[in-house]
């Protein structure tokens, strides 16, 4: 039982490049979400999904796209990376109102 | 939208001293959760409080949920170096299944 798996762990992009952060969970959780963590800003919600085919915006959605075609996977897409998107990204999942399980994070640098 | 505020942002204590972090919400919360993130790690769930006025203990950690369900606190008695990290509160109002909003966290450092 791997829990929540994020790839890659580290990534360096140039401004304007696109990429997808992968997130997969094997706990059959309906709810999945993406957060970004910046110094002094805590964890800010980017997008979330309450089930396959359903996504919604969080606090800081601009510049990011998501889709949820399966229960297991919830990828986060950066269409045109900007230096302001340099951050640590966490994917998390849960079942109902219970605790969140976090992945180990992706450290992204945009030059 | 809902905001969850935490104070202090940083706290440094000597080993053996007590520590408290406070969490306040702009709206009534259906429940509140607490997480701990060790340096370089990911947030890990500590506890969930649901009832008004609820108090729960985990060894040296005491968690409280306010009577109005708009504030909460985490108190650590006799801190140890293993308590180092950032403590987050998180909550959401309304129905289950909506977004969980985190406070900015309190970073605790402990010197021996």
Residue A39 contacts B where some CB pair is shorter than 8 Å: no
Place of tokens 């985190």: B102
Q: What do you get for the CA distance between the two ends of chain B, in Å?
A: 41
Place of tokens 């440094």: B12
Q: In angstroms, what separates the C-alpha of A95 from chain B's closest C-alpha?
A: 8
Q: What is the pLDDT of residue A96?
A: 79
- Which residues in chain B have their CB less than 8 angstroms from residue A101's CB? 45
- Which residues in chain B have their CB less than 8 angstroms from residue A92's CB? 43
Query: Given 3-state DSSP classes, what are the helix, strand and coil percentages for chain B, each rounded to the nearest 5?
Result: 5, 55, 45
Residue in B88, B99, B104 closest to A40 by CB: B104
Kindly list the residues of chain B whose beta carbon comes within 8 Å of any beta carbon in chain A.
1, 6, 9, 30-31, 33, 35, 41-45, 48, 88, 90, 96-97, 99-105
Taking the alpha carbons of A109, A82, A41, B60 in that order, is the dihedral positive or negative? negative
Residue A48 contacts B where some CB pair is shorter than 8 Å: yes
Q: What is the pLDDT of residue B97?
A: 47
Beta pairing partners, B12: B109
CA A34 to chain centroid, in Å, comes to: 3
pLDDT tens readout for residues B16-60? 999 999 999 988 888 899 999 999 999 999 999 999 999 999 999
Residue B94 reports pLDDT greater than 70: no
Strands B85-92 and A106-110: unpaired
Q: What is the pLDDT of residue B93?
A: 56
Residue A17 reports pLDDT greater than 70: yes
Radius of gyration of chain B (CA): 14
Q: For residues B99-109, b (16+ Cβ closer than 10 Å) or e, as one string? A: bbbbbbbbbbe
For A62, residues 6+ apart whose C-beta sits below 8 A from its C-beta are none
Q: What is the pLDDT of residue B98?
A: 74
Helix (H), strand (E) counts: chain A: 0, 11
- Which residues in chain B have their CB less than 8 angstroms from residue A41's CB? 104
Closest to A29 (Cα-Cα) out of A98, A91, A95, A97: A95
How far apart CA B86 and CA B94 sit, in angstroms, is 27
């Amino acid at each position: 039982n791997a829990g929540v798996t994020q790839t890659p762990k580290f990534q360096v992009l140039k401004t304007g490049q696109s990429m997808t952060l992968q997130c997969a969970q094997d706990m059959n959780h309906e709810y999945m979400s993406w957060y970004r963590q910046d110094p002094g800003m805590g964890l800010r919600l980017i997008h979330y999904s309450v089930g396959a085919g359903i996504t919604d915006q969080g606090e800081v959605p601009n510049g990011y796209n998501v889709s949820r075609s399966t229960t297991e996977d919830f990828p986060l897409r950066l269409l045109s990376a900007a230096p302001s998107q340099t951050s640590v990204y966490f994917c998390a999942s849960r079942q109902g109102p219970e605790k969140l399980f976090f992945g180990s994070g992706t450290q992204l640098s945009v030059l | 939208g809902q905001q969850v505020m935490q104070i202090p942002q940083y706290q440094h204590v000597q080993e053996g001293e007590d520590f408290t972090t406070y969490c306040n919400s702009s709206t009534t919360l259906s429940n509140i959760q607490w997480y701990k993130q060790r340096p370089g790690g990911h947030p890990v769930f500590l506890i969930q409080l649901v009832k008004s006025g609820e108090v729960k203990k985990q060894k040296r950690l005491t968690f409280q949920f306010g009577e109005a369900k708009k504030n909460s606190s985490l108190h650590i008695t006799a801190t140890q170096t293993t308590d180092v990290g950032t403590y987050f509160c998180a909550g959401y109002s309304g129905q289950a299944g909506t977004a969980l909003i985190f406070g900015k966290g309190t970073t605790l450092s402990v010197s021996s």
